[in-house]
Amino acid sequence: MLLETYNRAPVTIVRGEGCELLDDRGRRYLDFIGGLAVAALGHAHPAIAEAVAAQARTLTHASNLYHHEPAGTLARELVARARMSGAFFCNSGAEANEAAIKLARKWAFRRGERERTTILACTGSFHGRTLGALAATANAAYQEGFGPLPGGFAFVPFNDTAALDSAIASRVAAVIVEPVQGESGVHAATPDFLAQARRLCDERGALLIFDEVQCGVGRLGTLFAFERFGVRPDVVTFAKALANGLPIGVMLANERAAGAFRPGDHGSTFGGSPVPCAAALAHLRLRDELDLDARVRARSRQLFDALAQLARAKSKVLGSPRGMGLLIGVPVLAPYDAAAIVAQAREGGLLIGSAGGNTLRFAPPLIVSESEASRAVELLATAVDRARQRWSTTDDVCSKRA
Ligand SMILES: Cc1ncc(COP(=O)(O)O)c(C=O)c1O
C-alpha cells in the first residue's frame, strides 16, 4: 500500500494517448496538467517508446564508472544548446537542485571563500522535497516537522530588486530562482528582477542558479526559460519533461562554475542512465522536427485569450490568467475554491492542477492542438458552472468560508 504523501484523486489511470489519459473504466480525460509538466510530447509518443525500447534492448545500466554513448551525447547536446560547459545527471528536480546548491558552495570553497555558503532563494519558491532543496523552499507547511533543516539558506521577496540588492552580501554563494514559479500559483519573474540578479551576482561574486525544473524544457516556448528573459544564469536545472516521463534530472554549469566539481565530489548511481538519456535525446530531436517552440507560442496565445475571456464571463469566480507559454495559472476568487473546480473538471473529463494561492494550474503537453485547447476551455467553463451550482445548493466549505 502506498504511503499517503499525496491526495490522490479517485481515478486509476491505465493508459495514455497523446494529450489524453484513460482510466480503468474506459473514461477519457483531456490532460491539461501533463503529469505535472512532464508529458511535453504527450503520452506514449511512438518515437519516445521506440527510443526507450531500443535502448533497453542494448544497454540499460553501466554505472558512472564508465562512459556510455547516451549520456555523453545528451550532455553534449544540452551543453551546446545552453552554451554552457558541463552537465551533471541525476534522477529528479530536487536532486538537480541539490547538485546546484552543492556546486555553488564548492565553487566558493575552491576560491578560498569558506564563509561564502549562503544560498539566497525567493519567497514563494519551490525547489523540491529533499532536505537541501526543502531548505531553499519558502513554504512553511512543506518544512514543518522536518527540522532541523540544513542551515545557510535565506530568502528575499520574489521580484523585489531592492531587497535583492540588500541581501546579496559577501556570504552569499548563490542566488537560486525559478524564472516562472509554478507551485506558488504561477508567477513569472520580472525581466528586471532576473537582470538585476545577474548584475548583482557578478558584482558581488555569487553564482546565479535558475531552477527550470517546471518552466524549462520548452514550456515557455524556448528550450531554456532563460532564453525568454534574455538573462544567462551560471547554472540551470532541468528535470520533469526532459525524458518525457522517465526519471531524469540535469544540472548544467557554465565555464565559471563547472570546474568546482572534481572526481568524488558528487554522484548518483542511476544519474544519466542510458534509457532516460535515450528518451531525452529523442525528445530533443522531436522538438526540432515538430518546431515545438512555435507551436507552444501559438497555443499559449490562444489559451491566454480564451482564459481571459472566460475570466471576464465568470468574473465572480475566476481572475485573469497569468504565467507564460504553456505554464498558466488562473486565480480562483474567494470564497470560491480551486480544488472544487479541479474536481468538477475531472468529472467532466478535463485534468488540471491546482497551485498555491487558490490557483488553477495548466501545464498541458506542448503538442496540444488548437481544438484540444478550445475543448479544454469549454470543459473548464462547464466545471466552473457545476462547482457554482454545488456551492449555491449545498452548505459546503465555500459558503461557510464566505
Ligand atoms: C521548480 C521546481 N523545482 C524542483 C522541483 C522538484 O522536482 P522533483 O519532484 O522531480 O524532485 C519541482 C517539482 O515540482 C519544481 O516545480
Instruction: Give domain limits for the chain.
Output: 13-31+291-401, 46-289
Q: What is the pLDDT of residue 398?
A: 47
Q: How many Å apart are CA 160 and CA 207, to the nearest integer?
A: 18
Asked if 211 is an active-site residue, the reply is yes
CA 128 to ligand 1: nearest atom: 6
Fold topology of 13-31+291-401: Aspartate Aminotransferase, domain 1 (3.90.1150)
pLDDT in tens, the chain (402 residues): 999 999 999 999 999 999 999 999 999 999 999 999 999 999 999 999 999 999 999 999 999 999 999 999 999 999 999 999 999 999 999 999 999 999 999 999 999 999 999 999 999 999 999 999 999 999 999 999 999 999 999 999 999 999 999 999 999 999 999 999 999 999 999 999 999 999 999 999 999 999 999 999 999 999 999 999 999 999 999 999 999 999 999 999 999 999 999 999 999 999 999 999 999 999 999 999 999 999 999 999 999 999 999 999 999 999 999 999 999 999 999 999 999 999 999 999 999 999 999 999 999 999 999 999 999 999 999 999 999 999 887 655 544 443
- The helix (run of H) or strand (run of E) holding residue 253 is strand 249-253
Check if the beta carbon of residue 131 is closer than 8 Å to that of residue 146: yes
Q: Is 47 helix (H, G, I), strand (E, B) or coil?
A: helix
Q: What is the pLDDT of residue 393?
A: 79
Which of 210, 226, 240, 261 does the annotation list as catalytic? Answer: 240
CA of 130 relative to ligand 1 center, distance in Å: 10
Q: What's this model's pTM, rounded to 2 decimal places?
A: 0.97
CATH class label, 46-289: alpha beta
Give the number of other CB atoms < 10 A from CB of residue 293. 18
Q: What is the pLDDT of residue 392?
A: 85
Which of 32, 88, 89, 126 does the annotation list as catalytic? Answer: 126
Asked if 240 is an active-site residue, the reply is yes
Q: What is the pLDDT of residue 394?
A: 64
Cis peptide bond upstream of 335, omega within 30: yes
Q: How many Å apart are CA 18 and CA 44, to the nearest integer?
A: 7
Asked if 265 is an active-site residue, the reply is no
Closest CA to 40 of 325, 368, 353, 374: 368
Place of cell 551533471: 88
Ligand 1 site, CB within 6 A: 92-94, 97, 126-128, 178, 182-183, 211, 213-214, 239
Q: How far is CA 361 from the centre of its chain?
A: 12
Grid coordinates belonging to 294: 512555435
Which of 211, 234, 293, 337 does the annotation list as catalytic? Answer: 211
Q: Which of 127, 244, 354 to mutate for ligand 1's pocket (most ligand atoms within 8 Å of CB)?
A: 127
Q: How many Å apart are CA 145 and CA 147, to the nearest integer?
A: 6
- CA of 206: how far to CAs of 20, 110, 117, 284, 402, in Å? 44, 13, 10, 31, 47
